[in-house]
Amino acid sequence: MSGSEATYDVVVLGAGSTGENVADVVVRRGLSACVVESALVGGECSYWACMPSKALLRPGQAIDDAKAVGGARQAVTGELDVAAVFARRDEFTHNWNDESQVSWLDGAKIALYRGRGALAGVRKVVVEADDGTTTLTARHAVVVATGSAPLVPPIPGLAEAKPWTAHDATSAKSAPRRLTILGGGVVGVEMATAYGFLGSEHVTLVEGGERVLAKYEPFVSDAVADSLTARGVEIRTGVKAIGVERPDAGGGVTLILDDGSRVASDELLVAVGRRAGTDEIGLDSVGLEPGRYIEVDDTMLATKVPGGWLYAAGDVNGRALLTHQGKYQARACGEAIAARASGKPLDDAAWGRSVATADHAAVPQVVFTTPEVAAVGLTEAQARDAGMSVRAVEYAIGNVAGAAVYADGYEGGAKMVLDTDRNVVVGVTLVGPAVGEMIHAATVMVVGEVPVDRLWHAVPSYPTISELWLRLLETLGR
Amino acid sequence: MSGSEATYDVVVLGAGSTGENVADVVVRRGLSACVVESALVGGECSYWACMPSKALLRPGQAIDDAKAVGGARQAVTGELDVAAVFARRDEFTHNWNDESQVSWLDGAKIALYRGRGALAGVRKVVVEADDGTTTLTARHAVVVATGSAPLVPPIPGLAEAKPWTAHDATSAKSAPRRLTILGGGVVGVEMATAYGFLGSEHVTLVEGGERVLAKYEPFVSDAVADSLTARGVEIRTGVKAIGVERPDAGGGVTLILDDGSRVASDELLVAVGRRAGTDEIGLDSVGLEPGRYIEVDDTMLATKVPGGWLYAAGDVNGRALLTHQGKYQARACGEAIAARASGKPLDDAAWGRSVATADHAAVPQVVFTTPEVAAVGLTEAQARDAGMSVRAVEYAIGNVAGAAVYADGYEGGAKMVLDTDRNVVVGVTLVGPAVGEMIHAATVMVVGEVPVDRLWHAVPSYPTISELWLRLLETLGR
């Protein structure tokens, strides 16, 4: 068995979007870098999460949008072409081929090691591949960017039933006739929406808590649940799964609930959360516990490993499990590594270029359900828990002229949360058609800490749905 | 003939959206107010501009959006229901009945005088109505908010041909088979788009200048012109109209151009601009010239009338002929009047509540063509003319993952203009599907003067089209 060696300034474990971005930043700053990847270069988001899920959702959404407008509705006399939707999804995932991403690495002068990588003590990573073992040494930093994986909870019979995870739901080639979804978080509600579009005759969503999308403002949960119900999805909240039966592999599957009921379906999707992708990456060799998220500071430096050489960026640090936030952390992390490597001062005050300050209270997320959900920053409850002097205002988006033009009977809601001591917006939540592209305005308000007095001068164009921003200020009063 | 009299703190000439808003603000601040209106309460925007034009455009747009997505496209097997579109437009204009707006005035405790109002010297307005004359006296302020009207230029035969103006184009009950549009500004390109949707077989757009939408960045003009051309609109630029012939009222109309060619059609829409709505409102009684825009300072106080009692807000001051900007001016104007009336200090430093600072360099506008256009602030040329140290970056929006998901082969462009001395964004222009709701983020950047270093922390959600904002920063470099 061969045993080659190589040395880089920076070794990155994991070539998802976060790993790629860290490597790109440090290379641009004059360091050498390699990435180690055991699966596809590009990671979860490209192949089994954001991209394929949105590709499955968008066509049904576009039809719904047209049907919502008098005059256009009459033109939609046919049905969604489900085969075409799956085929289009396959284009977005490049049929799960990472050639184009590998080309990008080449162009960015980032070396690629395919194989299972694991830490092997200080500044060492060992890569096991079919053709041998490579020991990589990092002069300055090792960055763990191995992401997260779907969590399959220890429910009797569940693992044996080989349920779908987000991987399977986003890469399926057809819709199961009956689909049960365990978990009412983002993946659960998005996939309930998607498979409703794609022809599943019966979709049941089981959520152990009181409401779907529980981390959002309650009016969001209500709007999404009402819409799913109206589309025929059966939502069961406040019941917990206690067992799963699947007598024949590939045959029907039955979910047993703690109220004694049973839900039979053709497929079961488990969407109850994620776990850190740190099981088998040698964390014990550096004194960390495998399977746990890696604690980091705002430069993504691991706080419990001495020597200042180990970083963890993206899902793997547990700060904010979102592609865009991982890439954001990657930029901060890359700048921090480059600054430290060159002995330059670190720009690590709040909002500096070496820190991911926004992780704490300015994380945006869009849920591509029908209606869409978009939020950034703190909910009202979170702001109060943080001890702020809070004022919150709400507005029914359907009252905005632009919303009424956009869709007949537009239904949507908005909430803006303010810190009255600083007179700034600290959080916004929107639900309704087409709100996904509206939230970035709020992100700029929150991150920019733009005083409310100044926001009165940010005039929305009439008649866009964005006139909402004026309505919220008017509701707040001057 | 009766001759009644009444006195209010504030008399507002014109009950369009600007007039309504001025009156509302001063009443909320404890003053009494009335509005004078000769046509419909609610004004141009509600009945003959923004609302009906967008109502005519949205259904065709929604169909185009669905057709742009593989899988959804196959469901659009029917045609736009043109009669339904006109009927829906009629709902938005309440069939040109202003009852609901009058109710709103009542609720807001604003008195209404219907009739032709005109200034009659200092703090006096005379209202001529069928049932008599009323002389209104303003204790504190008269606000002229009579807007603007379509300009019909002195081309031989044009007035006699009784062409369509924006009024007719937005209130028509059917589409002419052949439509000629004179003028390639916002009204021209929007109505070319609308009547293309609504079944006009041949639309010809004549623009005397070199390009349509000439006040925007050139790439916008190209994108909109290319799209209109692809939809069958014949665009003729660089030719001027020198005559119009319409032998029979209501029959065919021929536009004669300065290159000797003639364009025959069933209807001719004149959309070459607006003129101040100040012809017959008694400006001469206060020393101003009828027919001209009224010059004002940032509180909307007329600068050429002594005594500090005459204001002009909205289109009539010529600062920014847009509904939303008129309402914005109305808020500033109302606050200024209320502060001066009470002897309180005026909040009139830049960005104060009594001044319309954004008029100068932070005006947003959305053009509802296909593709949409959205812009705020300065173009690159305007920023250079203003003597700024300018950097501009461009990005092809179709390269954003969210755009590719939104529409197959998404085509769009973005330009961000920065003042490098202050390190802030001073202008953004977007063209492409669904950009209309994206521009408010830029408005907040420009108005909030958020430093570019901070904008790096405003993370767009993946995969939305808004990821564009990150791409623009990356193009700019760090």
Looking at residue A250, what is its pLDDT?
Answer: 79
Does A286 score more than 90 pLDDT? yes
Q: Are strands B274-276 and B148-150 parallel, antiparallel or unpaired?
A: antiparallel
Nearest residue, CB atoms, B457 vs list A73, A362, A366: A362
What is the interface size between A and B, counted as CB pairs within 8 Å? 293
* Residue whose entry in the numeric block shows the structure tokens 């977007």: B430
Q: Are strands A310-312 and B3-13 parallel, antiparallel or unpaired?
A: unpaired
Look at A54 and B463 and tell me if their CB atoms are within 8 Å: yes
* Residue from A444, A445, A471 whose CB has the most chain B CBs within 10 Å, to mutate: A444
The residue in chain A having the minimum alpha-carbon distance to the alpha carbon of residue B434 is: A437
Instruction: Please tell me the CATH code under which domain B3-42+98-149+276-358 is placed.
Output: 3.50.50.60
Looking at residue A254, what is its pLDDT?
Answer: 98
pLDDT band at A2 (very low <50, low <70, confident <90, very high): low
Rounded to an integer, what distance in angstroms lies between the CA atom of residue A239 and that of residue A207? Answer: 7
Cβ proximity of B19 and B314 under 8 Å = yes
Long-range contacts of A403-406 (CB under 8 A, 24+ apart): A403/A432, A403/A433, A403/A465, A403/A468, A404/B92, A405/A463, A405/B51, A405/B54, A405/B55, A405/B58, A405/B92, A406/A68, A406/A69, A406/A433, A406/A434, A406/A465, A406/B58
The answer for residues whose C-beta is within 8 angstroms of residue A357's C-beta and 6 or more apart is A298, A350, A351, B457
* Residue whose entry in the numeric block shows the structure tokens 């720009």: A347
pLDDT band at A152 (very low <50, low <70, confident <90, very high): very high
B159 touches chain A (CB under 8 A): no
Phi, psi at B450, each rounded to 5°: -75, 120
Chain A (326-345) residues lying within 8 Å, Cβ to Cβ, of chain B: 327-328, 331, 335
Rounded to an integer, what distance in angstroms lies between the CA atom of residue B478 and that of residue B475? Answer: 9
* Residue from A77, A438, A461, A465 whose CB has the most chain B CBs within 10 Å, to mutate: A461
The CA-based diameter of chain B, rounded to the nearest angstrom, is 74
Looking at residue B250, what is its pLDDT?
Answer: 79
Residues in chain B with CB shorter than 8 Å from the CB of A80 are 71-72, 74-75
Which residue numbers in chain B have pLDDT < 50?
A: 1
B242 touches chain A (CB under 8 A): no
* Edge-to-edge strand list for the sheet holding B253-257: B241-245, B253-257, B262-265
Q: Up-side HSE of residue B265: CA atoms within 13 Å toward CB?
A: 26
Cis peptide before B153 (omega within 30 of 0): no
The residue in chain A having the minimum alpha-carbon distance to the alpha carbon of residue B466 is: A437
Domain residue extents for chain A: 3-42+98-149+276-358, 150-272, 371-476
Give the residue among B200, B459, B90, B105 at the shortest CA–CA distance from A328.
B459
CATH 2.60.40.420 fits B371-476, yes or no: no
Looking at residue A106, what is its pLDDT?
Answer: 97
Cis peptide before A451 (omega within 30 of 0): no
Instruction: Chain B: give the shortest CA distance to residue A458, in Å.
Output: 6
The residue in chain A having the minimum alpha-carbon distance to the alpha carbon of residue B360 is: A457
CA angle (A153 as vertex; A147, A157 as ends), nearest 5: 135
The residue in chain B having the minimum alpha-carbon distance to the alpha carbon of residue A400 is: B51
pLDDT band at A262 (very low <50, low <70, confident <90, very high): very high
The residue in chain B having the minimum alpha-carbon distance to the alpha carbon of residue A335 is: B478
The residue in chain A having the minimum alpha-carbon distance to the alpha carbon of residue B55 is: A405
Residue B284: both structure tokens together: 């001469």
Looking at residue B425, what is its pLDDT?
Answer: 98
Phi, psi at A210, each rounded to 5°: -80, -20
* Residue whose entry in the numeric block shows the structure tokens 């190589």: A6
- SS3 percent helix, strand, coil of chain B, rounded to 5, is 35, 25, 40
Residues in chain A with CB shorter than 8 Å from the CB of B474 are none
Residue B460: both structure tokens together: 């767009």
Rounded to an integer, what distance in angstroms lies between the CA atom of residue A258 and that of residue B292? Answer: 77
Residues in chain A with CB shorter than 8 Å from the CB of B450 are 444, 447-448, 450
Alpha helices of B122-231 — where are they, by DSSP H? 166-171, 186-197, 218-230
DSSP string, B41-76: TBHHHHHHSHHHHHHHHHHHHHHHHHHTSTTTGGG-
Rounded to an integer, what distance in angstroms lies between the CA atom of residue B359 and that of residue B355? Answer: 9
* DSSP 3-state of B13: strand
C-alpha distances (whole Å) from A47 to each of A4, A97, A169, A284 are: 31, 9, 11, 30
Cβ proximity of B332 and B339 under 8 Å = no
Look at A464 and B401 and tell me if their CB atoms are within 8 Å: no
Look at B440 and A438 and tell me if their CB atoms are within 8 Å: yes
Nearest residue, CB atoms, A84 vs list B54, B71, B450: B71
Beta bridge partners of B366: B374
Long-range contacts of A259-267 (CB under 8 A, 24+ apart): A263/A180, A263/A204, A263/A206, A263/A236, A264/A178, A265/A176, A265/A178, A265/A179, A265/A180, A265/A202, A265/A204, A266/A176, A266/A177, A266/A178, A266/A179, A267/A163, A267/A164, A267/A176, A267/A178, A267/A179, A267/A180
Residues in chain B with CB shorter than 8 Å from the CB of A76 are 66, 75-78
Chain B (113-142) residues lying within 8 Å, Cβ to Cβ, of chain A: none
Q: What digits encode the pLDDT tens for the residues A359-406?
A: 999 999 999 999 999 999 999 999 999 999 999 999 999 999 999 999
Look at B58 and A406 and tell me if their CB atoms are within 8 Å: yes
Look at B457 and A54 and tell me if their CB atoms are within 8 Å: no
Beta bridge partners of B137: B7, B124
Domain A150-272 is of which CATH architecture?
3-Layer(bba) Sandwich (3.50)
Looking at residue B2, what is its pLDDT?
Answer: 60
Nearest residue, CB atoms, B456 vs list A85, A353, A457: A353
pLDDT band at A249 (very low <50, low <70, confident <90, very high): confident
The residue in chain B having the minimum alpha-carbon distance to the alpha carbon of residue A436 is: B464
Cβ proximity of B262 and B255 under 8 Å = yes
Residue A279: both structure tokens together: 């099981």
Look at A440 and B441 and tell me if their CB atoms are within 8 Å: yes
B454 touches chain A (CB under 8 A): yes
Domain B151-272 is of which CATH architecture?
3-Layer(bba) Sandwich (3.50)
A59 touches chain B (CB under 8 A): yes
Cβ proximity of B436 and B448 under 8 Å = no
Nearest residue, CB atoms, B453 vs list A70, A84, A353: A353
B458 touches chain A (CB under 8 A): yes
A437 touches chain B (CB under 8 A): yes
The residue in chain B having the minimum alpha-carbon distance to the alpha carbon of residue A66 is: B62
Cβ count within 10 A of residue B287 = 12
B307 touches chain A (CB under 8 A): no
Phi, psi at B153, each rounded to 5°: -70, 160
Rounded to an integer, what distance in angstroms lies between the CA atom of residue B337 and that of residue B308? Answer: 10
Chain B (407-426) residues lying within 8 Å, Cβ to Cβ, of chain A: 408
Instruction: Chain A: give the shortest CA distance to residue B327, in Å.
Output: 9
Residue B213: both structure tokens together: 């939408």
Instruction: Chain A: give the shortest CA distance to residue B82, in Å.
Output: 6
Residues in chain A with CB shorter than 8 Å from the CB of B465 are 437
Q: Tell me the one-letter amino acid at A192.
A: A
Residue A425: both structure tokens together: 């917006």
Q: The whole model's pTM is what?
A: 0.98
Instruction: Chain B: give the shortest CA distance to residue A139, in Å.
Output: 25
Q: What digits encode the pLDDT tens for the residues B233-276?
A: 999 999 999 999 999 987 999 999 999 999 999 999 999 999 99
- Mean pLDDT for the stretch of residues A83-100: 97
Residue A119: both structure tokens together: 């830490």
Cβ count within 10 A of residue B423 = 16
A324 touches chain B (CB under 8 A): yes
Question: Can you say how many angstroms the Cα of residue A175 is from the centroid of all Cα atoms in its chain?
Answer: 23
Look at A440 and B460 and tell me if their CB atoms are within 8 Å: yes
Rounded to an integer, what distance in angstroms lies between the CA atom of residue B425 and that of residue B416? Answer: 7
Q: Are strands B124-129 and B116-119 parallel, antiparallel or unpaired?
A: antiparallel
Cβ proximity of B316 and B147 under 8 Å = yes
Instruction: Chain B: give the shortest CA distance to residue A129, in Å.
Output: 32
Look at B77 and A81 and tell me if their CB atoms are within 8 Å: no
* Residue from A63, A82, A437, A469 whose CB has the most chain B CBs within 10 Å, to mutate: A437
Between A2 and B345, residue with greater pLDDT = B345
Look at A436 and B54 and tell me if their CB atoms are within 8 Å: no
Residues in chain A with CB shorter than 8 Å from the CB of B447 are 450, 454-455, 457-458
Rounded to an integer, what distance in angstroms lies between the CA atom of residue A40 and that of residue A50? Answer: 15
Q: Are strands B111-114 and B124-129 parallel, antiparallel or unpaired?
A: unpaired
Indicate if A371-476 has the same CATH topology as A150-272: no
Beta bridge partners of A119: A125
B66 touches chain A (CB under 8 A): yes
Nearest residue, CB atoms, B71 vs list A65, A81, A362: A81
Task: Print the SS3 string covering chain A.
Answer: CCEEEEEEEEEEECCEHHHHHHHHHHHHCCCCEEEEECCCCEHHHHHHCHHHHHHHHHHHHHHHHHHCCCCCHHHCCCCCCHHHHHHHHHHHCHHHCCHHHHHHHHHCCCEEEECEEEECCCCEEEEEECCEEEEEEEEEEEEECCCEEECCCCCCCCHHHCCECHHHHHHCCCCCCEEEEECCCHHHHHHHHHHHHCCCCEEEEEECCCCCCCCCCHHHHHHHHHHHHHCCCEEEECCCEEEEECCCCCCCEEEEECCCCEEEECEEEECCCEEECCCCCCHHHHCCCCCCCCCECCCCEECCCCCCCEEECHHHHCCCCCHHHHHHHHHHHHHHHHHHHHCCCCCCCCCCCCCCCHHHHCCEEEECCCCEEEEEECCHHHHHHCCCCEEEEEEEHHHCHHHHHHCCCCCCEEEEEEECCCCEEEEEEEEECCHHHCHHHHHHHHHHCCEHHHHCCCCCCCCCHHHHHHHHHHHHCC
Give the residue among B267, B107, B106, B109 at the shortest CA–CA distance from B182.
B267
B216 touches chain A (CB under 8 A): no
CA angle (A175 as vertex; A170, A176 as ends), nearest 5: 115
Helix A50-67 with A82-92: angle, nearest 10 deg: 140
Instruction: Chain A: give the shortest CA distance to residue B456, in Å.
Output: 8
